[in-house]
Amino acid sequence: MTSPDKSLARSMGKVAVLMGGDSAEREVSLMSGNGVLKALLSQGVDASAFDPAHTDLSELKSERFERVFVALHGRHGEDGTVQGALELLGIPYTGSGVMASAICMDKVMTKRVWVAEGLPTPRWVWLARDQHAPARLRAVPDEVGLPLIVKPPREGSSLGITKVMGYSQMQEAVALSLQYDADVLCEEFIEGIELTCPVLGDGENARALPVIRIDAPGGNYDFEHKYYSDDTGYRCPSGLPPEEEAEVQRLVLAAYRSLSCRGWGRADLMQRASDGKLFLLEMNTSPGMTGHSLVPMSARAAGLSYEQLCLHLLAHAALDGQRSTAGGA
């Protein structure tokens, strides 16, 4: 266990750890939040759990919380809505601000920014809520190729995702995606190595942490394999040649900055087996902090314990337009 930095912990004031919420990722958020809460308490921080599904956010102000650690995932947690409420309340919070959170939660909008910035991402087709007719669905594989991935553009934790191998699977895959979102993202499937890379910090001072290679059974990194299975393999160090590791980190930093992220984040990528080319998949602005989560794993490889990571993120809590509101690494 890391020795608490008592002076830094005291400077955090009264802290709320937002967890739970009402999204499809509530269960994962509770795991993340309880891990963060335990870590902060171990460092001497005056921290308390706060579940916005059960307690109105206005009570953050009336109970005089001085900063917030956002451990919410999914809708109403990392999509800019909670961030906007905290801006109005004037309470500094961890992670990205309103605009970056909203854009990153929407994979289609994220891709549009990356394409505009010349950053690589798989080809895709966006199906709006009035574009789900059978004839339209049959045309999608001709546009992005087979196999392809069908997923809800504003959901996380691999919920509602299907790998489509043939035309006949499109209808069922879209139906599953529609259980989570009114729109559907159909994306080119990249055969290769799955990678992820966290980032800490703001703007030009942001730094990429070590890259993690993910080896999921059968290449299926779904909800079960992310949070509950011990069958998924993680390599950190990634085992990539140093120049390839550096290129992943360079690309991830460019992707992070292009979206105006701050505080922390984690980009997911694929490295195509045929030629080694990298493709950005998504940017997570409120990554998981569970026992199976990847940011703590990468941070440990960089010499930062789970407890130190939590305290570091909290120390850099801010409002839009501000830098960190307290000291910290």
Active site residues: 25, 157, 227, 266, 268, 282, 284, 288
Rounded to whole angstroms, the Cα distance separating 229 from 271 reads: 24
Long-range contacts of 133-136 (CB under 8 A, 24+ apart): 134/171
Q: How far is CA 326 from the centre of its chain?
A: 24
Enclosing H/E stretch for 197: strand 192-200
DSSP 21-42: -SSTTHHHHHHHHHHHHHHHHH
- Report CA dihedral (88, 91, 93, 98) to the nearest 10 degrees: 10
Give 55's DSSP letter.
S
Contact (Cβ atoms closer than 8 angstroms) between residue 19 and residue 32: yes
Query: Which distant-in-sequence residues (6+ apart) come within 8 Å of 38 by Cβ?
Result: none
Enclosing H/E stretch for 163: strand 162-164
Query: Which distant-in-sequence residues (6+ apart) come within 8 Å of 128 by Cβ?
Result: 183
98 phi, psi to nearest 5 deg: -60, -55
How many CA atoms are closer than 13 Å to the CA of 252, on its beta-carbon side? Answer: 32
Rounded to whole angstroms, the Cα distance separating 141 from 158 reads: 21
